[in-house]
Chains A and B, each alone.
Chain A
């Protein structure tokens, strides 16, 4: 399995590359790859590093956005967006100023403080949560009841609920796992979620690649 991670040139990429090296050969690239293998033998991981406005600018300039859009339209290489990486796939975000996203997921990303309830105000969600499943999340009995690590100040207001596999309860529901065709979005960080994260990614890869 070839695993490609876009490199911003800054931030913590050590953890993600180390985590995914358990599942294949990891390449960290500033520009999109020329695929050496069939699309069903590769994954793109969009890391949850940085702030939306700056990172989407990088994706647009570097050619990564076009590559990801082509992959989605052709139902090609599987893409996993983690935290900010998932936000980039949406219509846009207000983080760091209003910016357009890739438009793959039919939802907008907004500050948690703008959608928080009065009874449970929140502007940063930091910590461990269990998932509220709407549909089975990579059905694996080992994942049932597991907690995952979240660290974010922005989240999706999803318009298309059919893509939401699970949510997290912050006093209101925020999508935590999203899936559409060859795209998976995770609001939490599997690479920081100890055994729960490993089990979930193993199940995901097994399901998607039957390996």
Chain B
């Protein structure tokens, strides 16, 4: 059986460009509050050295993509210098942008809400690159007591049932993996609203959970419930444990974890 995956998330921002003269990685809450933490390439190398299972690089710069070519160069550099699966995402809204990311070293790309809107370009990606190369990122948060899904270009739309939404995506067989991102949290507060965890776990398509995970017990519980892996960003930066130590604790808790 497959091992549970620990996926390192690197958020790349242009918000500090004036200060540092380059794109930097950051930790963030709801993509708004950001704090620079280093260079994406260096972070990727450290993650690989600590036997991370996958690396996810997400561009959270402005939608005008002022520094897009620099971002693509960073992705190429990471891809050509590491041997760890690389997933890239952030404001993907066309076939040509998707192709740019694959050509810059993405093994998989992450697409958000536009994925579910029946866009022809998404179908074209599947027919060209295969279903396994697409990851659907379901970004959600609670607004005034109601679950809302992030739509194209950062808008939020009420969702009556996250469970139903995930089932629809799974039934459509249009992605190789789903990531549930609880965007109102980050790794500094560990909490996942368990009642909205979909009943679709243990289904045929892998489901990963991210955001708001900074506690061993919580991560362990989520893996026990059937998630195939977790994405960790802020936690990896703030924790005094290495990735190997985090994995060793999960292994000791009875999870199937790859240690080398």
- Number of A-B contacts defined by CB within 8 Å: 123
- Within B104-126, the residues touching A (CB, 8 Å) are 104-108, 126
The answer to whether A124 touches B132, judged by C-beta atoms less than 8 angstroms apart, is: yes
Chain B nearest CB, measured from A69 CB (Å) = 24
Closest partner residue, chain A, to B80 (CB atom): A18
Among A13, A127, A169, A192, contact of B5 (Cβ-Cβ < 8 Å): A127
- Within A142-200, the residues touching B (CB, 8 Å) are 146-147, 149-153, 169-171, 189, 191-198
A126 to B136, CA, bound (A): 14
- Within B149-206, the residues touching A (CB, 8 Å) are 173, 176-177, 203-206
- Within B217-260, the residues touching A (CB, 8 Å) are 228-229, 258, 260
A197 to B205, CA, bound (A): 25
Decide yes or no whether A14 CB sits under 8 A from chain B.
yes
Closest partner residue, chain A, to B85 (CB atom): A192
A interface bracket (residues with beta carbon within 8 Å of B):
35 or more
Instruction: Tell me the interface secondary structure of chain A in the complex.
Output: mixed
Q: Which residues of B contact A121 (CB under 8 A)?
A: 203-204
B residues with CB within 8 A of A: 1-3, 5, 48, 51, 53, 76, 79-81, 83-86, 99, 102-108, 126-133, 173, 176-177, 203-206, 228-229, 258, 260
| 28 pairs from A and B in contact (CB 8 Å cutoff) | A12-B79, A12-B103, A14-B103, A14-B104, A15-B83, A15-B86, A15-B107, A49-B102, A51-B129, A54-B128, A116-B204, A121-B203, A121-B204, A122-B204, A123-B205, A124-B131, A124-B132, A124-B177, A126-B132, A127-B53, A146-B260, A149-B85, A151-B108, A170-B2, A189-B85, A191-B83, A192-B107, A194-B51
